[in-house]
Amino acid sequence: MSKVAVVGSGAMGGLWAGRLAAGGHDVTIIDVSDALVQQVRDHGLAIDSPGGMVEVALSATTDAEAAGVQDVVFIFVKGPHTQSAASKLGPLLAEETVVATLQNGWGNADVLAEAVPLDHLVVGVTFQAATITGLGKVAHLGQGPSHLGPYVDGGALAPAQAVADVMAAANFETIVTSEVKTAIWSKLVHNAAALPVSALTDLRTAPLVEPGPWRDLLDGIAREATAVAQALGYQIDADERIAHIHKV
């Protein structure tokens, strides 16, 4: 059993916290929402998965100092709140603590690197899917692999493997790889294309890939995002990404 803190308990943070606690780890949620913290303290977390509803008792607090030193810290706040979360990590960290970000987007790890020893910072991306259905209630909508690796290019894989070992209790498929940043960019290409176009057109993603101007726009954004990734040195194939987006 490991001591695990989940910073930010939205849909993904709640899913992680609930599944890890159900798997036997000593889990503490750290969140700025007093209402959520009180709900979890009083009633636990409810995870609605394909296998049925699971209600899990675990700790919750708004104060990192109250949580104390952890073995693994998962960061699941939204990107704009990463700086604030990073500034409060100190009480959670000891010499061997590993901090892992599975946030969407690019740049969160650079912010965390200002507060976490670089060789103990793990970056990653996940294709698990979840949504909030109520206070302290999360629906697990889809399964997919999570990729983990070192923040430092060429860094040791052992910290990422330690995080993967903790995640094994949640039965999450996890891939530890030195090419993790390519995996992050692959998802970023998908999100950069599909999510803004869906938001701006008020369409679900399926109609966007029907032949026509919206699909042309979607594909063009995917190619542009891929070109940026390639210019940064990440080997991503635009045709593969577009085919993947259409399939999803």
Instruction: Supply the residues annotated as catalytic.
Output: 187
1 DSSP assignment? -
Contact 150, 118 (CB under 8 A): no
CA separation for the pair 220, 187 (Å, rounded) = 16
How many Cβ atoms from other residues are within 10 Å of residue 212's Cβ?
Answer: 10
| Sign of the alpha-carbon torsion through 154, 158, 159, 160 | positive
β-strand pairing of 52-56 with 45-49 = antiparallel
**Cβ 151 vs Cβ 122: under 8 Å:** yes
- Strand order in 72-75's β-sheet? 59-61, 26-30, 3-7, 72-75, 98-101, 121-126, 146-150, 174-176
